[in-house]
Each structure stands twice: as structure tokens, then as C-alpha cells.
Chains A and B, each alone.
Chain A
Amino acid sequence: MTLFEEITEHFSDPIFDRHSRLGDATVILSRDALPGVIRFLREEKRFDFLMDLTICDGGMEKSPRFEAVYHLFAFERKERLRLKVPVEEFDPHLPTLTGEYRNADWLEREAWDMFGVRFDGHPDLRRLLMYPGFEGHPLRKDYPKDRRQPRIGPGSTPATAFEREPALPERLGKALTAAGVADPGEEIMYLNMGPSHPAMHGVVRVMAALKGETITASDVEIGYMHRCFEKEAETHSYMGVIPYTDRLNYVSPLINNVGYVMAVEKLFGVTTPERCRYIRVILSEISRIVDHLTCIGAFAMELGAFTVFLYLMKARESLYELIGEVTGARLTTSYTRIGGLRGDLPPGFDGECRAAFRKIRKDISECDRLLTRNRIFYDRMRGVGVISAADAISFGFTGPCLRASGVSHDVRKSSPYLIYDRLDFEVPLGTEGDNYDRYLVRIAEMEQSMRIVEQALADLPDGPVNLDDRRMTLPPKEEVYNSIEGLMNHFKLIMDGHGIRPPAGEAYFPVEGGNGELGFYVVSDGSGIPARVRVRAPCFHMISALSYLIRGQMIADVVPIFGTLNMIAGELDR
């Protein structure tokens, strides 16, 4: 019996529709059926991960206007399932899933914040990305993209901007009660860390209630870097979104580029030429090394190991130079195109890459010698920030942080894309799920990434890097300048109101980002502008567990725990 049939058998009437397009199984069901179906799927069918939850706004004309989209993943069977629930415009509300999946907490708060869809039974439904005084729900189609609500401007003071924000004791009251510390006679010290704090990477705020030096309850506030990626994507052409994806995860922008364009390619139902796929893999893996180098370097520095930081930044610099040569930019690469790449690899890339790897291997072993058996480092990392496999799954952890807890889920293995199924590499695992394991997994992964690049370089095939498909790739310049068809084709792909137009539909495409499963969910209505682009940011789910991870730890442990989660503000806040 297929999954569809089983669901239909269990829950007959409220299932509206089901289909399987572009390889994505989708079930459309009613709001009332949702909790039951979810429980059934999670308990019986082992859909352990709530990968993503988002809302799509179809605009005022559409009825019902909103659609909630849940992406589930059963990692043992490597199966994905999408649930869609229509929600009408007047008084939109949905049942909460916080009892089933722990990351639903933040996902639902985000959905409420951005779309104004209420979640009945949510323990603490308040804004997540915008600030308390913000009016309206910005991702609704009728909220103008540039309607600003400045908190301060010339002449106003920060004090007035903070007026509407609750004070720390008030804010932490709920969390304290939940933690069982409601007695007002107890000595509690409230401490605010961030957002402008060296170890908080500038944009995350941790508010903690301390007893002595131990954190009894905390609240994590994010959204200080919300740059409206999703709103920008709804107002730009498909091609125009690529530069925005760079800035989502600016430590490994190439993986983001690849993830986004592959989602669009999935909508078109095309696959890119061999050479392009190899190059995408090579650059993604180089990007992953950059990501891990930066993460380890930064948290080592925050723990006082400044030398390690300098060594690893030196290593990163040689990769930046390499990336710069290929893409023309060190950081904001925008290298991929829908249906291909911006260009081929430069001549001599092979040798330079190998030379860079030689240097990096040296730097990593240097860092290994400085840190791995260092007593102070060990004591601050081992047994701190422990998360069990079950909790990690429930919080939606993916990537190195999940693997440190011993769960072998890697998108490159579980749903292989590009050429990963042909490559020989291992997925390093941890056992304890603490800071130290997260560090070790990253160190081991860098070596695996280098192995992948070396294999891919060794059998890099010749051939074009761009698909010869006039719906998405620009014609060669000789054609543009010498023939009217070429010229028209070029304009059709570039001009406003035309552009690349994938067929109407939707696609979710996951790739293994530097920090976990990075998924792009793209909805096309057949026009030149995406109807919705949703990014499943890996670190969003991990930071949603931060409060849980630091509870009961010392205040000084916040720094390594936060550091090993590898928060990237661009994708966390979108």
C-alpha cells in the first residue's frame, strides 16, 4: 500500500487532493485533518523531521487566499512529503504543531509574524523577526515592499524606540515559570547579551535569567538582520534573485547559488551538462571548507585561541583567492546561472586548487595540534551544549550539528544531487552531540570535502557548461549581434515583464549547505517573477534550540555553544 493510500484510508473525507509532480509527493488536506495526519505520519510513518513550514500568499483574488506548506522528511526511508493546507483570508488560523515538533515553535512564530496566520494552542505566539511595534505582516502580497516603519530617525532617540519593548523580567517571566522558578523571593539576575556583542556575531540577542552563574531560563531574540530575502525575491526576476542568494549565507555563497538555481531547474525539469555539474560540486565543496574554517576560527577566537583564528583565516584567504579567480568576486559570487554557470573554470585552476589544498591541510593540522588535545579547550567543549539525537531531530537540526549527535543524515547521501552519488566520501559522525563533537565533525568534513574536490578534478569532463535551452540560457554573443532571432531571444530573457519563465508549479530542492540542509522552495505562477521563494535555512532551526541548549549551563558556556552552532545572520533572519 502506498503512503497516499494509507493516509486516505485513515482519514477519508478531509483530504482534498494529492499529487506527485516533479518527484515531490503532495497531499492537500483540510485544517481539521492536519493534527491527526501529522501525528499519524510522525508516529507510524517515521516522518521525524519537520523540515520547513511556510505560508504562501496567493493574493487577494485567490480563495482561499493562503496556503500553509509543511515539508516533512522521513530520514530512515529518505522520503519526503509535502502537506498543504488552504487557509482562508478572514481570520486565518491553523492548529499548532508544537506538540509534535519542537522547531515548529519558531517556524509558527515566523509565519505569524510574516503572514499574520494564527496558530491555535501555540504557547507563545509573538513576533520573531520584526519588532513589537511593527504594524502589519510584511510578506503578505498587499504589504508594499518599501513601506518602512523606522524606529528611529533624525531627531528621535533610541530611548523612544525601546519604549514598546518589554523589560527583561517581564519578558523572561514565562520562561522562568516554565523552568519552575516562579518564586519571586529567589535571587535572579537578569543579563542581556547582544545584539552588539563580540560573541553574538553582532545580531543575536540572548536574554538570560541567572542564578549565580547558571542560566535558569533564557529568551533568544533574532531578526536584527532581517533583509527581506523572500520579499525581494517576489519582486525580482528569476535571474535577479541569484545575487540575493549570495547574501543569505555569505560564508558559503556558492552552495546557496547552486541550491537556488537547481530549484528553478527542477521547475523546468532540466538537468545541466556534465561539466557544469562537476564544477558546481567542486565549488560547493570549496565553499563548505570556507564555511567550516570560518566557523572554527571564529569560535576558537571567542574562546581566546587567537592564533588558531589567524591560521584559519590565512587558510581561508587562499580559498578566497581561488574563488575570486573563478567567479570574479571573493564573497558575493553569483556564479551560477539557471541552466549553467557564468563561465568555465579559468585555465590552470586544477594546479592552483591542489596547491591551495596543500596549504590548507597544513593549516588545519596546525589548528588540530593547537586545539584538539588542548586541556582548556577540551574542558570547555566536552560535555557542554549536549543535545541528544532525538532532540536534535525534533529541533530540525541538520548538517554537522546533527551528525555530531550521531545521526547520519547528509543530503549528499540521502537525496544525492549533481554527481555526489558517483563520488567516494565519508560522512563523519560524532557520538555525544556536544560542542567538542561538533568541532571534530567539522574538522573531519573539511578533509572529506577536499577529497571530493580532488576526485571531481581528476575526472572533470570536457564540454559546455551551459545548457543549450533558449528558455533559460542566454544565446551566444555572436548570435545576439548577428541575427535578429538571437537578439530577440536575448531581450526576451532580459527585459522586464519577460525574463525566464518556468512553467507554473512548485519545487523544493534541498542541498547540503555548510551548516545543514539548505532547501529552496520556489513557486512559479508562470510569470517572469517568482510567486514565492522560501529558503529553509539550516541555522534557523539550530538557533531555535539555543535556549534549550544553554539552560543549566554557565553563562560563559553560551559563547562556545553559540559558536559551534554556526549561526549565519543572513540566512537566520533572511
Chain B
Amino acid sequence: MGIEQLIGRKALTTRLDAAVGWARKYSLFQYPFATACCSMEYMSVACAHYDIDRFGAGLPRWSPRQADLLMVVGTVSHKLAPILRQVYDQMCNPKWVFSFGVCATSGGFYNNYATVQGIDTILPVDIYVAGCPPRPEAVLDGLIKLQEKIRNEKQQY
């Protein structure tokens, strides 16, 4: 008779989920896919003044294999889209996508032949942050929301 039968399989998994979620939420490794103006604000968020490190997401990794949070910062054009998708595909699971600014979210005010009208047409997105560019506070707020989501998710291991 194992412990599962004593306390029930479900209870144990849920608590492990919570523990893993809590751990994952505070150890985000981001891949900044920074292209345009929004990357200026990304730099501000990453630097000492706003300090994204306080939220456990301070380490940018420049390899998709080492990252679990894809931050799409700025406009994505049709020329760039396959590269973005490839980076996403190369990331290991579990992974999350952060859409930084209106361009990544919806194409922004670039409604034209070159711009992808929102990265959700090519990959799944977990959190959208509005603003052109979003203020650093808005980015941090988005990050906290994403962390909430990660914590409450059904975890895959």
C-alpha cells in the first residue's frame, strides 16, 4: 500500500503542481526577441532602475534552448516571422510567450504589406502587454500576471 492510496493521488499531484508552479514562476529565463522601438523600453526594464530581476526574470538567455519565456519585443514583419517561429519551435517545454507592445500584439498602427498583424497568427501567446511602447511599469505588471498564470497552471513535467 503506497502513499497514493492513503492520501489519494489527486491531492499529491495538486500540491506538487503548486510547488513546481511556484518554482517556475520565479525562475523565468527570457529570450528577448527584440526588434524595434519597444526594445528601448525593454532595456530600461532590464536595467537597474526598473530591475526585472526583482521578479525572478532577470537573466536574458540568447539561446532558445536555455530559455523558457519568449519575449517578443517590437514589430514582426513577414520577413522576420519564420525566424521568430523557428526560435519558438526550438525552445524546450514548458515555454511561455510574452507579447510586448501593440506591434507584437496586433501589428500596432502598421497596417500594411510588411507587418504581421499580431504574433498570435504564428504562435500561441500567453500574455499581451498594451502600449506603444508600454511603460516599464506596465511590463512588470504583465510579468506579474504571467507569473500568476504560471503558478496556477497544470504543470507538465
Contacts and interface: CB of A to CB of B under 8 A. Distances in A.
Interface of A: 130-131, 138, 143-154, 157-158, 161-162, 195-198, 201-203, 223-228, 231-232, 243-244, 246-247, 250-251, 294, 298, 309-310, 313-314, 316-317, 320, 330-332, 569-570
A225 B37 CA distance: 11
B77 interface: yes
Contact of A150 (B37, B41, B62, B78): B78
B65 to A, nearest CB: 13
B110 A232 contact: yes
B21 interface: no
Given A151-B82, A161-B82, A202-B34, A227 B40 contact: no
Contact of B79 (A147, A224, A570): A224
Contacts of A195: 80, 83
Nearest to A153: B121
A149 B113 contact: yes
A570 B110 CA distance: 12
A144 B109 CA distance: 16
Interface of B: 33-37, 39-41, 43-44, 47-49, 60, 62, 74-75, 77-87, 89, 109-117, 121-122, 132-133, 135
A144 B111 CA distance: 11
Contacts of A331: 37, 40-41, 133
> Main SS of chain B's interface residues?
loop
A317 B40 CA distance: 11
A177 to B, nearest CB: 27
A169 to B, nearest CB: 20
**Which of B41, B44, B78 has the most chain A CB atoms closer than 10 A to its own CB?**
B78
Contacts of B135: 330
Given A151-B81, A569-B36, A202 B74 contact: yes
A152 B122 contact: yes
A569 B117 CA distance: 19
A146 B39 CA distance: 25
A213 B138 CA distance: 43
Nearest to B31: A196
Contacts of B39: 201-202
B79 A320 contact: no
Contacts of A224: 35, 77, 79-80, 83
27 contacts: A138-B114, A146-B112, A146-B113, A149-B113, A150-B116, A151-B81, A152-B81, A152-B82, A158-B86, A161-B82, A195-B80, A202-B35, A202-B74, A227-B77, A243-B109, A250-B37, A251-B40, A294-B43, A309-B47, A313-B44, A314-B47, A314-B49, A317-B47, A317-B49, A320-B44, A330-B135, A331-B40
Given A131-B78, A152-B122, A225 B35 contact: yes
